[in-house]
C-alpha cells in the first residue's frame, strides 16, 4: 500500500519540540555573541567559538577536522549544533545521529556511520538545459476513447500555454507529461519549466501577478520569467552522495550526470557496497574536475558520542582523512569514562588519537537569570502566559534541579491553571502545587531516588 502525505494539511504552530526556538547562534555583525539572540541565551564563549567554526565551514577549511561540545547535561550542546545548522542555511546538508543508533541487528555499525557521513556531503550540480519556461495561461487535457471502448476515457495529450515577458507559446504535450504536471499540482497562474530532453516538470511558484488576490496565503510568488518560452537555462540541483548511492544501488543507465540523476526516481534498492560507493566517488570526482558540479561539505552531528565503541572510533578516524569528508560535530556530557568495548579510561570516553583531531568547545551551566530568560522563550513558543512569580519559581527550580526539569513543568502547569482554576495565566501557586515537598504531582530525579532509598526499592 502506497501512503501519500501530499494532501495532509499540517498546522505549523502545533509542532513544538525541545529546540523549536533555535534560529541561529545569536551573533552580532562582528561575530561577537549577543546576550540573547536567535533563541539562545548565555554560553557566550561557546557561541563565539561555534561562530568561528561556521566561518571555517563556509570557507571549506574545516574538512577532515571535527568539533566536540563537552559539558554537563542541559547546557545547550544540541542547541548549539542546531544553531550551527541554521547559520549554514538550508543548502548545506545537516545530518543528526545519536551514538546508540549505530547498534542494530540488521545493519553494521560502520554502515550506519557511513550512510550518515554521505548524507552530510552535498553535491551542487549546475547544468545548461533546454527548457520551456513561463507562466501557465492554459492547461487543457484532451480526452480520447479508451482502448476497450465504452465509457472509458483516457488522456491522449494536453494543451499547455506558457507566457513570458517576451511572448507566449502553446505546447501539445504527451499524456505522460500530464501525469508529471498533476504530481507537481500545476494550475493556471503557476510559473513552471519543462526540460525538453527528459520532460521533467518543475513548479517554481505562483506568478506574482496573483499576489494581491488574498491578504494571507501560504504561497511563494515569483516574477514572470524573462526571455523566450523556449530557451537554454542553467539548472542548479542540490543532492547528497547518499542520494547518488541509493539511486545507483541497482544501476540502469550510463555514468553521465543525466543518467545518475534519473535514477533518483527509481524505487528499486539493493545493498550499498563499498565498491558501488567507490564507483560513485569516481564519477563525482569527474564532475568536480570538469566543473559540472561543486562539492558542498555539510555537517554530521553525533550526540552522546561516548556511546560509540572502539570500532566506530577507528572507522571515524579513517573517514575523517577522506577527501570527501564532511565536518563532524560531536557532543558528550561525560568526563573521564571507559571507552565502550574496552577497559581503557579516556577523557569523554573518546580515544586519544581521535581527541587529537578535535577542537573542543566547553559549555557551562546556566545561571538563574539565564534560566529565567530561557523559560520565557519556551513559554512564548508554547503559547503559555507566566507571571513574574512563576518565572522566578521555575528559574529557581532550574538552578537547583535542572533546566530540563523546569522546562518540562511549563505545559503541566498551564493545563492545571486552565482546567483546575480556569486561569489563562500560570502563577507561582500552580507551580508549587505541581512540585510541593509534601504531596507533589510530579517528582524530580532526586525526590524519586529518595523515595526509592527509603522504601528499599519497589520490588521486594
Helix, strand or coil, per DSSP, at residue 302 = strand
Give the separation between CA 301 and CA 67, rounded to whole angstroms: 9
- 23-37, 146-160, 254-268, 437-451: which has the highest mean pLDDT? 23-37
Please give the pLDDT value at position 9: 36
HSE (side-chain half, CA atoms, 13 Å) at 380: 9
Compute how many other C-beta atoms are within 10 angstroms of the C-beta atom of residue 292. Answer: 16
DSSP code per residue over 195-217 = ETTT--EEEEEEEGGGTTS-SS-
Residue 114 C-alpha cell reads as 557511513
Give the separation between CA 254 and CA 247, rounded to whole angstroms: 12
Residue with cell 502545587: 433
Residues in a beta bridge with 157: 142, 174
What pLDDT, in 10s, does the model give residues 300-330?
A: 889 888 898 898 888 888 888 877 788 888 9
What pLDDT, in 10s, does the model give residues 192-250?
A: 888 888 788 888 888 888 776 555 556 778 888 888 888 888 777 788 888 888 877 76
Position 14 confidence tier, pLDDT thresholds 50, 70, 90 = very low
Provide, rounded to the nearest whole percent, the portion of the chain with pLDDT above 70.
Answer: 85
Position 4 confidence tier, pLDDT thresholds 50, 70, 90 = very low
User: Smallest Cα–Cα separation from 246: which of 262, 233, 259, 264?
Assistant: 264
Cβ-in-10-Å burial (0-12, 13-18, 19+) of 102 comes to buried
Q: Give CA 157 to chain center in angstroms.
A: 39
Residue count of the chain: 460
Helix, strand or coil, per DSSP, at residue 327 = strand
DSSP code per residue over 216-239 = S-S--EEPPPPS-SEEEEEEEEEE
Residues in a beta bridge with 345: 338
Please give the pLDDT value at position 2: 34
Please give the pLDDT value at position 5: 31
Please give the pLDDT value at position 150: 55
Query: Dihedral, CA atoms, 240, 243, 247, 250, nearest 10 degrees?
Result: 100
Give the separation between CA 414 and CA 81, rounded to whole angstroms: 30
Mean pLDDT of the chain: 80
Residue 157 C-alpha cell reads as 495529450
Is the model's pLDDT at 40 over the cut of 80?
Answer: yes
Q: What is the DSSP letter of 112?
A: H
**Enclosing H/E stretch for 65:** none
Amino acid at each position: 500500500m502506497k501512503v501519500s502525505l501530499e494532501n495532509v494539511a499540517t498546522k505549523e504552530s502545533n509542532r513544538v519540540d525541545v529546540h523549536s526556538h533555535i534560529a541561529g547562534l545569536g551573533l552580532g555583525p562582528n561575530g561577537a555573541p549577543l546576550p540573547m539572540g536567535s533563541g539562545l541565551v548565555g554560553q557566550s564563549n561557546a557561541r563565539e567559538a561555534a561562530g568561528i567554526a561556521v566561518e571555517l565551514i563556509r570557507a571549506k577549511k574545516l574538512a577532515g577536522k571535527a568539533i566536540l561540545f563537552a559539558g554537563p547535561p542541559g547546557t545547550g550542546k544540541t542547541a548549539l549544533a542546531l544553531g550551527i545548522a541554521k547559520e549554514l542555511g538550508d543548502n548545506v546538508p545537516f545530518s543528526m545521529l545519536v551514538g546508540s543508533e549505530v547498534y542494530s541487528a540488521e545493519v553494521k555499525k560502520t554502515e550506519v556511520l557511513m550512510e550518515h557521513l554521505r548524507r552530510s556531503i552535498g553535491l551542487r550540480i549546475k547544468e545548461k538545459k533546454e527548457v520551456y519556461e513561463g507562466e501557465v495561461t492554459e492547461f487543457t487535457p484532451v480526452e480520447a476513447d479508451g482502448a476497450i471502448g465504452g465509457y472509458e476515457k483516457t488522456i491522449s495529450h494536453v494543451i499547455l500555454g506558457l507566457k513570458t515577458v517576451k511572448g507566449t507559446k502553446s505546447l501539445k504535450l504527451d499524456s505522460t507529461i500530464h501525469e508529471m504536471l498533476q504530481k507537481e499540482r500545476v494550475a493556471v497562474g503557476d510559473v513552471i519549466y519543462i526540460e525538453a530532453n527528459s520532460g521533467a516538470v518543475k513548479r517554481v511558484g505562483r506568478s506574482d501577478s496573483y499576489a494581491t488576490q488574498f491578504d494571507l496565503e501560504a504561497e511563494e510568488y515569483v516574477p514572470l520569467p524573462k526571455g523566450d518560452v523556449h530557451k537554454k537555462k542553467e539548472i542548479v540541483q542540490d543532492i547528497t552522495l547518499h542520494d547518488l548511492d541509493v539511486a545507483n544501488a541497482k544501476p540502469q543507465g550510463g555514468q553521465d550526470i543525466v543518467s545518475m540523476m534519473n535514477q533518483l526516481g527509481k524505487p528499486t534498492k539493493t545493498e550499498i557496497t563499498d565498491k558501488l560507493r567507490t564507483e560513485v566517488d569516481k564519477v563525482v570526482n569527474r564532475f568536480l574536475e570538469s566543473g559540472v558540479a561543486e562539492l558542498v561539505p555539510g555537517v554530521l552531528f553525533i550526540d552522546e558520542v561516548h556511546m560509540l565503541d572502539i570500532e566506530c572510533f577507528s572507522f571515524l578516524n579513517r573517514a575523517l582523512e577522506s577527501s570527501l569528508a564532511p565536518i563532524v560535530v560531536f557532543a558528550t556530557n561525560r568526563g573521564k569514562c571507559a571507552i565502550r568495548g574496552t577497559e581503557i579510561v579516556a577523557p569523554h570516553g573518546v580515544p586519544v588519537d581521535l581527541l587529537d583531531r578535535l577542537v573542543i568547545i566547553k559549555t557551562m551551566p546556566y545561571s538563574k537569570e539565564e534560566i529565567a530568560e530561557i523559560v520565557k522563550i519556551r513559554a512564548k513558543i508554547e503559547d503559555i502566559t507566566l507571571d513574574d512569580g512563576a518565572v522566578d519559581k521555575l528559574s529557581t527550580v532550574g538552578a537547583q534541579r535542572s533546566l530540563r526539569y523546569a522546562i518540562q513543568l511549563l505545559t503541566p502547569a498551564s493545563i492545571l491553571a486552565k482546567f483546575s482554576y480556569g486561569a489563562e495565566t500560570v502563577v507561582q501557586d500552580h507551580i508549587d502545587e505541581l512540585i510541593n515537598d509534601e504531596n507533589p504531582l510530579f517528582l524530580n530525579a532526586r525526590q524519586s531516588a529518595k523515595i526509592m532509598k527509603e522504601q528499599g526499592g519497589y520490588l521486594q
